[in-house]
Amino acid sequence: MNGVEQYELPVPEQKRERNHRLRRGVYLVPGSLTVANMLCGYYAVLASLQGSVADFDNAARAIGLAWLFDSADGWVARATGATSEFGKQFDSLADVISFGVAPALLAFAWGVRGLLESGVGPARHVVQLGWLVSLAFVICCAWRLARFNVHGMAPGGSRYFVGMPTPAAAGMIAATVHAWKTPIEDWRWSLAWLALVSALAALMTSTVRHYSFKDIPWTRRQPSLAFVLIALLIGLVIRYSEEVLLLIAATYTASGITLHVVRAVRHRLVSRPV
- Provide mean pLDDT across the span 231-247: 93
Beta-ladder partners of 210: 161
Please determine, for residue 242, whether its predicted confidence score (pLDDT) is greater than 60: yes
- Provide mean pLDDT across the span 25-49: 89
Residue 1 lies in a domain: no
Q: Please state, in angstroms and rounded to a whole number, the distance separating the CA atoms of residues 96 and 273.
A: 46
Q: Is the dihedral of CA 255, 260, 263, 264 positive or negative?
A: negative
DSSP classification of residue 183: P
Q: Please state, in angstroms and rounded to a whole number, the distance separating the CA atoms of residues 196 and 66.
A: 22
Residues 6+ apart with CB under 8 A from 233: 244
3-state secondary structure of 161: strand
Lowest mean pLDDT among 32-36, 149-153, 162-166, 251-255: 149-153
Please report, to the nearest 10 degrees, the dihedral formed by the alpha carbons of residues 249, 255, 258, 261 taken in order.
Answer: -110
Q: 164: pLDDT confidence band, cut at 50, 70 and 90?
A: very high
Output the pLDDT for position 198: 98
Question: What pLDDT, in 10s, does the model give residues 61-109?
Answer: 999 999 999 989 888 877 777 778 888 889 999 999 999 999 999 999 9
Q: For residue 109, what are the domain limits?
A: 11-271
Please determine, for residue 212, whether its predicted confidence score (pLDDT) is greater than 90: no
Beta-ladder partners of 160: 211
SS (H, E, C) 191-242: HHHHHHHHHHHHHHHCCCEEECCCCCCCCCCCCHHHHHHHHHHHHHHHHCHH
Residue 149 lies in a domain: yes
Beta-ladder partners of 208: none
Please determine, for residue 27, whether its predicted confidence score (pLDDT) is greater than 80: no
Q: 9: pLDDT confidence band, cut at 50, 70 and 90?
A: very low
How far, CA to CA in Å, does 77 sit from each of 14, 91, 151?
A: 25, 11, 20
Q: 206: pLDDT confidence band, cut at 50, 70 and 90?
A: very high
Residue 137 lies in a domain: yes
CATH code, domain with 108: 1.20.120.1760
Output the pLDDT for position 14: 54
- Provide mean pLDDT across the span 211-226: 75
Residue 114 lies in a domain: yes
Residue 185 lies in a domain: yes
Based on the structure, what is the number of domains in the chain? 1
- Provide mean pLDDT across the span 184-194: 94
Residue 4 lies in a domain: no
Q: Specify whether the CB–CB gap between 11 and 19 falls below 8 A.
A: no
- Provide mean pLDDT across the span 34-58: 96
Q: Specify whether the CB–CB gap between 74 and 91 falls below 8 A.
A: yes
Lowest mean pLDDT among 2-6, 50-54, 72-76, 236-240: 2-6
Closest to 51 (Cα-Cα) out of 106, 100, 101, 99 = 106
User: Looking at per-residue confidence, does 26 or 197 come out higher?
Assistant: 197
Residue 215 lies in a domain: yes
Please determine, for residue 127, whether its predicted confidence score (pLDDT) is greater than 60: yes
Could you write out the DSSP letters of every residue in 28-79?
A: HHHHHHHHHHHHHHHHHHHHHHH-SHHHHHHHHHHHHHHHHHHHHHHHHHHH
Q: 159: pLDDT confidence band, cut at 50, 70 and 90?
A: confident
Residue 116 lies in a domain: yes
